[in-house]
Amino acid sequence: MTAINNLDANKNSNLRRLCKMIRAWRNKHGLAMGGLLIDTLVYNFLNSTTEYDDKSYHYYDWLSRDFFKYIHELEEQTEYSAPGSRQRVKVKKKFQKKAKKAYHLCLEAIDANGQSNENDKWKKVYGRPFPKAETVSKASLSIHTHATWKNTEEFIEDKFPVDIKENIKIDCEVKQNGFREFFLRDMISRHIPLRNKKDLRFEVKEISVIQPYDIYWKVLNRGEVAKKKNNIRGQIVADAGMRQKIESTNFRGDHIVECYCVKDGVVVAKDRIHVPIVIEGNRDE
C-alpha cells in the first residue's frame, strides 16, 4: 500500500484511477484477474514511463491505449511480484489476448473522437458504467419512441455486484435430428457457418468457483430480424440445475449467450459466446 500511495502521488493520482478503470474492463470482459494483479500491472506500467506524470483525465484515452498495449506485449508468466512487499501474485488466466482486443478497441474509440458514437466505442472497453454522450442519448430515446420492437434486455450489474476473480467457460453443442455435428467454438474457429434448424445446447465446460454457487443465463437476439420479430429477449434467468441452456437456431443475426456464476450474492465469473446464424438462401424465415 505504501508503494502504491507513493507512486500514485508521483503520477498525478493516475495510478489509483487506472486501477479502477482496469477493474471495470475485467468485469466487462469476464477475465479472471485478482485486484492485486491489476494493481501490480498498473504499477509496473506507470513506473516504466514518465508520459503521464503530469497528465490527467483529458489524456485517459491515450493512457488506456498505452496500458493495454503494454500488457498484451508482456511475456506470459505464472506470477508477478507485488509492489513494495514483493508478494508473489499468481496469474489465474492469461490476459494477453483480451488485452490485445482492448487495445484495438481503444484505437477505434480514439479514431471516433468527437463523433456521436465515441462513448459507445468506449463502452465496449469499460462496460455500461461508462457514461453515454448526451447527443447519443437523445437520439437513442427518439429511436425507441418510434420503434415497433420492445427492448427487453436486462443487465447483470443491475441485479448483483460484479467482481470477476474466477473463471468460467461455456461452449455449445450443435445438433440436427438428434445427432451432434460440432461444438460452436470449433465451428467459429474453422469458419463453418451456423445455419438454421439446428438444436443448441449451451453448457458450462470449465469453472474454477468452489460450490455452492448459482448459475444464470442470458440469451440476446441482435439484428434487424430480431427487431422485426419483436424478439430481442435478453432476460437473465436462473439455471435449472443442469448447468446448461437449450436453444435452437430460428432466424438470422449475431446472437449472444452469456453465463454468470454468482457466489455469496456477487458475480465472480462470466463468459459469453457469439452465435452467428446464417440462413440458407439469405432468407429471414
In contact, 225 and 194? CB cutoff 8 Å = no
pLDDT band at 138 (very low <50, low <70, confident <90, very high): very low
What is the 8-class DSSP label of residue 103? H
d(CA 51, CA 180): 54
pLDDT band at 279 (very low <50, low <70, confident <90, very high): low
Kindly tell me the burial class for residue 68, based on how many C-beta atoms sit within 10 Å of its own C-beta (0-12, 13-18, 19 or more). buried
Q: pTM, whole model, 2 decimals?
A: 0.81
Rounded to the nearest 5 degrees, what angle is found at the Cα of 103, between the Cα atoms of 253 and 36? 110
> Residue 134, SS3?
helix
d(CA 47, CA 173): 46
Higher-confidence residue: 256 or 278? 256
d(CA 213, CA 266): 10
Q: Which of 23, 21, 22 is nearest to 162 (CA)?
A: 23
For residues 50-64, average pLDDT? 95
Beta bridge partners of 250: none
d(CA 103, CA 61): 11
In angstroms, how far apart are the furthest CA atoms of the chain? 64
pLDDT score of 280: 54
Percent of the chain with pLDDT over 70: 89
Number of H helices, E strands in the chain: 9, 11
pLDDT score of 128: 85
Q: Tens digits of per-residue pLDDT, 151-201? A: 888 999 999 999 999 999 999 998 877 667 788 888 888 888 787 778 889
Long-range pairs, 24-28, Cβ under 8 A, ≥24: 24/126, 24/127, 24/129, 24/130, 25/102, 25/125, 25/126, 25/127, 26/164, 27/127, 27/157, 27/162, 27/163, 27/164, 27/267, 28/125, 28/126, 28/127
The yes-or-no verdict on residue 56 having pLDDT over 50 is yes
Q: Tens digits of per-residue pLDDT, 9-54? A: 999 999 999 999 999 999 999 999 999 999 999 999 999 999 999 9
The cell for 119 is: 462513448
Weakest-pLDDT range from 25-39, 202-216, 269-283: 269-283
The cell for 69 is: 498495449
Q: Tens digits of per-residue pLDDT, 73-111? A: 999 999 999 998 899 999 999 999 999 999 999 999 999
